[in-house]
Amino acid sequence: ATLTSLAEAVRIDDICRKHGKAFIKADIQGVFASVFCDFGDAFEVTDVDGEQPHSGIVAGITPGATTLITSVEDDRLEFESGDMVVFSEVEGMTEMNTIGPVKVLSAKPHSLEIEVDTTGFGAYVKGGIVTQVKQPKTLHFKSLSESIDAPGEFLMSDFSKFDRPPLLHVGFRAIDEFVASQGRAPKPGDVADASAVMEIANRMNQNNEAVKVDEKVLGHLASTWSAELNPMAAAFGGVVGQEVVKSASGKFHPIFQWFYFDSIESLPEEPLSAEELAPEGSRYDDQIAVFGRSMQRKLEAANVFLVGAGALGCEFMKNMALMGVSCGASGMLTVTDDDTIEKSNLSRQFLFRDWDIGNAKSSVAGAAAKKINPGLNLEALQNRVSPDTEEVFNGEFWASKDLIVNALDNVNARLYVDSRCVYFGKPLLESGTLGTKCNTQNIIPGLTENYGATRDPPEKSAPMCTLHSFPHNIQHCLTFARSEFEGLLEKTPADANAYLENPEKFVHDVTHSSDAAAKENLRGVFDALITDRCST
């Protein structure tokens, strides 16, 4: 349910509960948003976090009333107290392989204590794998009518605003009553309407000492209530979409049950005049009602550089077109991406269609964005942003931009764009997605650290000396197998082809090389062409 009164939402929720259907109510009101979920009396979540079950290699088992499990030194265990685990491939103490899921009493990086008595088991010899067993979780949702007065705990989005969700719960109810009685929403910037909302909120909250009614926050809520902002719609469309998937699949923990959000920080510090907030009869009137005409003119005149036109790039271009960014006479959105559209892109890069396969991403996405808003001034390029293209993206180009937006899929490109932004003092919006996970970073010169100031920890890799002596865990074995695969099916055939193409040069290079592996390569070529030559 969206854009429905509280009374109507209660009626729909009651119907859904009667027929065993999930119900979601979501609203965006200016820079505020609300989501409510009711998935029934007993909703089972089969996988709370969607992560792969943790596992570890057993190096030792100390029997007792509670049993201590230790792992190999270089295998850090990821278990937590309360996890349920099972064992396999244990030699000697084979009873461990048959016991059901057992509870972890305490967990450390290289050991864990489990709730099982192993004093009567056989003597541990060697081996074993311990694996997490994910436990289902049953959630008991209350109906909307019940949870209005007893909302329970709210899902937090900003831990610096602990008191905000209960306040917004009162505020949303107060404005719902205002709309029901007045037949209209509060007017933008109208002091009388804001005061009326405050009066209703105080009356609703008179017996609730836990919530302090904040006049400033509810004033902003009343003033921006009637506006529908594209960024809010885009963000909470995604949130609600995820909740729909959760309700159908039982995977990932759903919102339980209320979620409130606000972005008051985005609003002007000083109240805007009635003239600033007055509608113009344009497609941007809702934005003007929140941020004012002057801000809208700035958005329209912005010169923006978007690096990447993939999944995030398409989303940014759509949002900018709907917001009117770079749609003024002096504005320009420059998009660059050296990639072309593939069939696999169509599942997530929504500005592309079947008939666009093989064409440049930036050009196709740009044309689609201009259909959304014909006033968008857009230049589509097919250049990779790197040191090799500094004659295209030169000092004059960077100096002319007001904002840089990254929509990239690799760290090196991000670091390069970040270095350019630092050098030219330009703000950068950095973000990335991976499945159901995402990150975003707003980088403002002189106020925040830049993207390259912090680095992610290096990915775990298996040392080659370990692989060739004793690969003892799954990561080592997989890396060893990949090394063997590349040697047998990639490097050796490539060497054989190089020999066939120019035998004299290949033999000369091998015989005059100081690399000990070079002569081994020649042996590999001999085996590939003579000893083990394929007959098919």
* Placement of tokens 């000396």 in the chain: 465
Q: Are strands 67-71 and 111-114 parallel, antiparallel or unpaired?
A: antiparallel
C-alpha count within 13 angstroms, C-beta hemisphere, residue 42:
0
Cβ-count burial of 393 within 10 angstroms (0-12 exposed, 13-18 middle, 19+ buried)?
buried
* Three-state secondary-structure class, residue 154: strand
* DSSP symbol at 251: B
Q: Give the number of residues written for the chain.
A: 536
Helix axes 516-526, 492-501, angle to 10 degrees: 80
Indicate which residue of 421, 465, 477, 534 is catalytic: 465
Distance CA 51, CA 12 (A): 34
Distance CA 27, CA 33 (A): 6
Own/partner pairs, 153-161, CB within 8 angstroms, 24+ separation = 153/256, 154/258, 154/259, 154/260, 155/255, 155/256, 155/258, 155/259, 157/259, 157/260, 157/261, 161/262
Q: Name the token pair of 317.
A: 């271009």
Distance CA 529, CA 98 (A): 50
Active site residue 421: no
Dihedral sign (CA 199, 200, 201, 202): positive
Annotated catalytic residues are: 465
